[in-house]
Structure 1
C-alpha cells in the first residue's frame, strides 16, 4: 500500500517517534535552521556594504527582495508545497523598469519588513536552536574528547567532572536521551518559522489572484484582437460587397427608366434597403472597434464620439503618449457608453469629457449637467462598464445625486 509522504514538518511529527526520527525531516529541519544563520550573516554583510556606498544607499530598500527569493527556495527543506513569488511579471524591461515596478508593490515592503525581522530576531533564534543540537552532539561525543585530548579539563557538567571515561560515557547517555527531544524541538521550530516565512514572502493566495488577473488580462487582449479581426473582415469583405450591390442597383435604376413602374419600385426599394443595411453595418463595425482609434488614437476617436453625440460635448484630453491598446479601447468604450447614457437618460444640456495621465494611471471623467439619479441597479449600462473596467484591474466611481450633476470617473492602470 502506498503511503503518502508528509509535505511539512508538522505532519512529519505526527507519524510516531520511531518513524519520525528515522525519516529525513529532523535533519532537513536542522539544515533549515543552520542555513538560516549563514544566510543572515551573508545578507547583513551585503547590506552593510550597500550602506557604506552612498550611490547604492537606496538599494537597501530593495534588499529584502533577494533575501525573500532565497527564503522561498529554503522553504523546500521543510515544506514541499510551492512557494511562488508574490511579484507580478514585469511589463517594462530593463533595470529602471524593474526598480520602478518593485517600489510600487506591497510585496516589496512586506519582504523588507521580513528582512528586518530576519536579521534582528529570527537569525538569532536560529542560532539558539542550532546551539541546542550542538550541545547534544557535544555530550554524545564527550568520550572522544577525553581520549583524543587527555589534557582537556572542562568545567563541571551536571555535577560531574568528566575527566575519566566512566563520567564521559554518562554524559554520552544524557546526550543520546536528549537528542530526540532536541530534534523534535528543532523540527517544531523550523515548521513554525517556515509558516511565518511563507506568510510574509510568498502568499500563494495573492499569487493565485495575480495569476487570475494576468489570465483575465490575456483573455481581454485576445478578445480585443478578435474584435479587430471581425471589424477588419466586415470592413474589407461584407461592407465592400454590399457597396458593390448598392452601386449595381443604382445603375439598374438608371437602366429601368422606361421599365414598368412596378419593376422600378422594386429596384428602388431594394436600393434603399441596401443603403440602410450598409449604414447599420457601418455602425456595427464602428461599435466593435473604430478604425480611427487604431489609426489616430484616443483623442481623435473621442472627438468623433463627441461630434455624433446629440448633446454638446466639450473634450479636454492631455496624453503625453498613447496608452496600451486594451486600456485605450476600454477608455473609448467607457466614454461611448457614458455618452449614450447621457443622451438617453439625463436630459443634459452639456457634457464635459476629461482624459489625462496621473502617474501610472489613465484617468477619465465624464460629467453632465442633467437630472442625475443614475443607478447601476437599474440596468443603464453602468454595470457593464464596471465589469469592463475591472478586467484591467481598474476602478470606477459614479456620483449622481438627484438633480445632478452626474460625474463618472474611471482609473485604468497603464503598467
Structure 2
C-alpha cells in the first residue's frame, strides 16, 4: 500500500529513502578526487612506486603490472576488432535500416567491457569500482528488451563506459604493446651472452653488419638489457596507475548534482531530528526543574495554609483545600505531559521497559515481547517508542481490536518491530490514520514502515530502523 495514495488497503506500505548519507561506494581511505568530484582511492601501484628502486624492482609489482598490460593488450585488440566490425557493419547496413540498430547497440558494448575491466584490474588494485548502473525496469517479456535498451542508452554511465572501451582499445592497448615489446627486447639483450655462447661467436649480430666475437663482448648488451627491464617495469607501473585512475573516473558511480542534493537533504533532515531531540531534552529539563518544583512548593504552601485556617475559618480552609487539589491535578497533568514528551523509563531502562509501561496504559490488552541484546542509540529508541505509542493510539481509535501483540528483535543491526491487532483492518493512509506521519518519522533514520491491512483484518505494522543510521 502506498502512503501517498488511496490504493488497495490489502497491499504493503513502504516509506524509506534509498540514499545513504554516510555511504559512498567510490570512497576509500587516503583517496583523492577526480575532476568531477568522484572519489579515487589510494592506488596501490602508485604507493609501491614510492618505495626505494631496489624494493620496487625486487617486489611482485613489476610482474603484476606486466601481466596486467599484456592481458589488457590482448583484450584491447579483440575489443578494437569488435568495434571496427560493428561500426563497419552498421554503416554498410544503415541503408536498409538494420544498421541503425547495430549502431545503437555499439554503446552497449562498453557495459560488458567495464564488467571485465573491474574484475581484471583487481590484479593491481584490491578495491575495484562499484557498478554505476541503476536497475532497469522489469516489465513484460515483450517490452523488457526494448525498455532495457532505452534505459541503458539514457544512462550517462553507459557512455562513460564506451569512452573507456575506446581508450582501452586504442591508447592503453598501443601503450601496453609498446611496454611489452620493450620488455621482450630487453630480455633478449639480457640473454645475449648465453645466446652467443650457445650459437658460437661470429654468428650473432645485435648491430647489423657487426657480429659479437665472444660472450664477454656481449656483457654490455646484458647491462643495457637490465636497464631496459627496469625501465619497462617503471613504464608498466606508471601506465597501470593511469589505467586504474581512468577506470575509477569513468567506471565508478558519479556524484551527480541530483544525488548530491538528495544526500544533503537527507543529512539536513537528520540534523533537524538531532536538533529536535536536543530541544526536547531542554524543554523536559525546564519543566522538571522549573514548573514542577514550583507546583510542588505551591501544593505544600497551600497545605500549610489549610492547617492554619482549618479551625479559625473553615470556609476559607475549604477554598484553600480546593486550590491545593487543583494544584495537585495540574502537577499530575504536567508530569503526564513530560512523560509523553519522553518517558524517563525510556532513558533509564531502554525500549523494552518503555513499551511494557505504555502497554499497561493501553485500553486494549497488549502482549509485548521485545528481546534486545543491548541498548540501542537514543534516537533509534525514541523513534521506535513513539512509533509504538502512535500505533497503539491508532488501533484504539480505529481498529476495534480486542488484543494487540508487539514483538521486537535486532536483525543484522536493524531494529524490527511487529505490531499486530485483530481488528477490522482496512487501514488507509489517506484517511488520516497517522500512518504517513509514522513513515515520515522513520524515514529520518532511513527506516521503513510496511503495513498489511486487508479488509476484515488483521492489521500488521512492520517497523524497521537501522541502528547505524
> What TM-score range do you get, normalising by the shorter chain?
0.5 to 0.7
CA shift digits 1:126-185 (9 cap, x unpaired): 336989xxxxxxxxxxxxxxxxxxx99xxxxxxxxxxxxxxxxxxxxxxxxxxxxxxxxx
- Secondary structure in 2 matching 1:352: strand
C-alpha contact 2:427 2:453 (8 A) present in aligned 1? yes
User: C-alpha distance in 1, partners of 2:66/2:466?
Assistant: 33
- Secondary structure in 1 matching 2:332: helix
Q: Report the Cα offset of residue 302 of structure 1.
A: 0.9
Task: Write out aligned runs for 1:97-116 (5 A).
Answer: none
Q: Which residue of 2 aligns with 1:274?
A: 327
Match of 1:329 among 379, 382, 390: 382
Question: Are residues 1:352 and 2:397 paired?
Answer: no
User: C-alpha distance in 2, partners of 1:307/1:327?
Assistant: 22
User: C-alpha distance in 2, partners of 1:210/1:333?
Assistant: 26
Question: Are residues 1:237 and 2:290 paired?
Answer: yes
C-alpha contact 1:256 1:264 (8 A) present in aligned 2? yes
Task: Write out aligned runs for 1:299-310 (5 A).
Answer: 299-310=352-363
Question: Are residues 1:203 and 2:248 paired?
Answer: no
Query: Alpha carbon RMSD of aligned pairs, Å?
Result: 4.2
CA shift digits 1:330-387 (9 cap, x unpaired): 0001001111122222222111111111113111111111222222222222222111
Q: Which residue of 1 aligns with 2:339?
A: 286
User: C-alpha distance in 2, partners of 1:324/1:306?
Assistant: 22
User: C-alpha distance in 2, partners of 1:303/1:130?
Assistant: 70
Match of 1:127 among 165, 172, 190: 172
C-alpha contact 1:347 1:371 (8 A) present in aligned 2? yes
C-alpha contact 2:129 2:251 (8 A) present in aligned 1? no
Closer, same or farther in 2 for the Cα pair 1:117/1:324, shift >3 Å? farther
User: C-alpha distance in 2, partners of 1:61/1:277?
Assistant: 73
Q: Which residue of 1 aligns with 2:301?
A: 248
Q: Which residue of 2 aligns with 1:108?
A: none
Q: Which residue of 1 aligns with 2:436?
A: 383
User: C-alpha distance in 1, partners of 2:67/2:164?
Assistant: 12
User: C-alpha distance in 2, partners of 1:379/1:227?
Assistant: 25
Match of 2:421 among 344, 368, 374: 368
- Secondary structure in 1 matching 2:253: helix
User: C-alpha distance in 1, partners of 2:442/2:340?
Assistant: 17
Q: Report the Cα offset of residue 329 of structure 1.
A: 0.6
User: C-alpha distance in 1, partners of 2:465/2:123?
Assistant: 28
Closer, same or farther in 2 for the Cα pair 1:294/1:47, shift >3 Å? farther
Question: Are residues 1:318 and 2:363 paired?
Answer: no
Closer, same or farther in 2 for the Cα pair 1:199/1:286, shift >3 Å? same
User: C-alpha distance in 1, partners of 2:430/2:294?
Assistant: 42
Closer, same or farther in 2 for the Cα pair 1:67/1:289, shift >3 Å? same
Task: Write out aligned runs for 1:29-44 (5 A).
Answer: none
Match of 2:456 among 377, 393, 403: 403
Closer, same or farther in 2 for the Cα pair 1:48/1:408, shift >3 Å? farther
- Secondary structure in 2 matching 1:389: helix
User: C-alpha distance in 1, partners of 2:299/2:258?
Assistant: 59
User: C-alpha distance in 1, partners of 2:67/2:314?
Assistant: 97
C-alpha contact 2:406 2:418 (8 A) present in aligned 1? yes
User: C-alpha distance in 2, partners of 1:195/1:120?
Assistant: 13
Of Structure 1 and Structure 2, which has the larger fraction of its residues in helix? 1
User: C-alpha distance in 1, partners of 2:160/2:443?
Assistant: 34
What are structure 2's unaligned runs of at least 5 residues?
1-34, 36-42, 50-60, 69-118, 131-157, 177-206, 209-245
Q: Which residue of 2 aligns with 1:263?
A: 316
- Secondary structure in 2 matching 1:200: coil
C-alpha contact 2:345 2:353 (8 A) present in aligned 1? yes
Q: TM-score, normalised by structure 2?
A: 0.50
C-alpha contact 1:64 1:114 (8 A) present in aligned 2? no
Q: TM-score, normalised by structure 1?
A: 0.55
Question: Are residues 1:224 and 2:277 paired?
Answer: yes
Q: Report the Cα offset of residue 204 of structure 1.
A: 4.0
- Secondary structure in 1 matching 2:426: coil
C-alpha contact 1:361 1:414 (8 A) present in aligned 2? yes
User: C-alpha distance in 2, partners of 1:239/1:48?
Assistant: 77
C-alpha contact 1:370 1:405 (8 A) present in aligned 2? yes
- Secondary structure in 2 matching 1:232: helix
Closer, same or farther in 2 for the Cα pair 1:388/1:46, shift >3 Å? farther
Q: Report the Cα offset of residue 325 of structure 1.
A: 1.3
User: C-alpha distance in 2, partners of 1:116/1:62?
Assistant: 20
